[in-house]
Amino acid sequence: MSTEQNAQPTGDHVPSRRQQPTLLGAVAELEAVVAAGYDEHVGRFLGPVGALFGSAGVAERQAAGPRLAALLPDAPPFPRAHLAMVVGACVESGADPVACSGPVLAGLRGALTGAQRLVEHWARTGGGPLPDREEDDPAGAHARIADPAHLPEWPAHLAVVAWWTLHLWQQAAWAVYAHAPARTEARSSGVTEVLLELIGRYQGGRHDLEGLAHLAQVLDDEPLLVLDRPTGTGYLLRMSGLSDTFQLHTLLADVLIGGGHLPGAPQDPEVVALARTGVPDGRRLIATGAFNLVAPDGSWFWNEGTPGDIPVLDGVRTLVLEPLPYERSWSAGRFIQELPGDLRLERVLDRAEAARLLARTVPGVPAAQAFR
């Protein structure tokens, strides 16, 4: 793997840019520069890739995505983050998100680790406001945190680069996580679990990672078992693209109450539309709570969580519905507006099966205990 510390090549060995009519032509020249280890020229050859992206056709952008993603591990640190942004743009144009996601998410992992390292060494060297990405000089930050006894030159350099480029990796990761196949691959490989742990430990307040964490946890084509304690009934549903539990609550009310399976007042159709695919028109629409969501162990499952937090019982995420202890309402919509959501009923359990499953759950704790 090359680094920025490679020797300077002679001009005769740098690929020519004189003929560069297409995006893929520029990609090929960038590939040659990276393969040769000419780190100091990567930024110069990355520029034409970005410049030609806007005029390139969709098919060319799609073909460029995986090729550019493959360059990320060997590109030097600062240009690497800008290259990741181009990869994200290719994915948004239809490039294979799974083929692009591995190097992008690996880069995000490195950026999170490095930025957290800067935060920690900033505190160790006197604290105070963290560097401002727009106003401060990366060289000054490097000079402050570099210490042979604690953080040698190269790790300090990587920490500074990570701090200054984390927002770029965040945007590139968003582009790949916006696609269900990439989310599924990252979850099954354990990548998402690692990233969520790093996001949870991250202390650099200048980077807001909450939205990305929600997106990474979105489940797709996921079975959901719902048991209604007051009626003794049960339902097997399937959810996809739900980014928050407020959204799930709204759609549960629509499918089960609006579908005539449970008693109660159905949700406003406009509220339901916003929870699925609707686009806000500026009005503030209000969703109303229909039931109390309870985990199988009796603990409350709060709307502020995500469907990925629903506990798994015998291999299936399981929720119990109980009567509302008090009225609840919230602004209608989706936490991640650009992500469509879906919840559909697959089958109604027979009474005996529902009773058997409900017998294995614990009634919800009283409201007074839930708020302790």
Query: Backbone dihedral region of 215: left (phi > 0), alpha (psi from -120 to 50 degrees) or beta?
Result: alpha
Whether residue 124 lies inside any domain: the answer is yes
Whether residue 2 lies inside any domain: the answer is no
pLDDT at site 77: 94
**Cβ distance 237 to 346 under 8 Å?**
yes
Collapsing DSSP states into helix, strand and coil, what is residue 315? coil
H or E segment at 346?
A: strand 342-348
pLDDT at site 5: 39
- Residue 312 tokens read as 């798994």
pLDDT at site 316: 97
State the average pLDDT over residues 177-198. Answer: 96
Number of domains in the chain: 2
pLDDT tens across 188-217, in order?
999 999 999 999 999 887 667 989 999 999
Q: Are residues 39 and 98 part of one domain?
A: yes
pLDDT at 372 exceeding the cut of 60: no
Q: Are residues 168 and 145 part of one domain?
A: yes
**Cβ distance 22 to 52 under 8 Å?**
yes
Q: Are residues 278 and 172 part of one domain?
A: no
Where are the extended beta strands (E) located within 206-308? 222-228, 233-240, 286-288, 292-294
Domain that holds residue 237: 222-370
pLDDT at site 10: 47
How far, in whole angstroms, is CA 201 from its chain's centroid?
16
Q: Are residues 70 and 148 part of one domain?
A: yes
pLDDT at 120 exceeding the cut of 90: yes
pLDDT at site 78: 94
pLDDT at site 370: 63
pLDDT at 365 exceeding the cut of 90: no
Residue 149 banded pLDDT, cuts 50, 70, 90: confident
pLDDT at 367 exceeding the cut of 90: no
**Cβ distance 44 to 14 under 8 Å?**
no
204 CB neighbour count, 10 Å cutoff: 19
366 CB neighbour count, 10 Å cutoff: 9
Cβ-Cβ contacts under 8 Å for 176 (sequence gap 6 or more): 88, 91, 97, 100, 101, 104, 105, 182
Q: Are residues 238 and 189 part of one domain?
A: no
pLDDT tens across 241-299, in order?
999 999 999 999 999 999 999 999 999 999 999 999 999 988 999 999 999 999 999 99
Whether residue 308 lies inside any domain: the answer is yes
Q: Are residues 265 and 188 part of one domain?
A: no
Dump the DSSP string for 128-167.
Answer: -SPPPTTTS-HHHHHHHH-BTTTB-HHHHHHHHHHHHHHH
Mean pLDDT of the chain: 92
pLDDT at site 310: 96
Q: Are residues 212 and 303 part of one domain?
A: no
pLDDT at 14 exceeding the cut of 90: no
pLDDT at site 11: 47
pLDDT at site 70: 98
Percent of the chain with pLDDT strictly greater than 90: 86
Residue 3 banded pLDDT, cuts 50, 70, 90: very low
Whether residue 272 lies inside any domain: the answer is yes
**Cβ distance 31 to 67 under 8 Å?**
yes
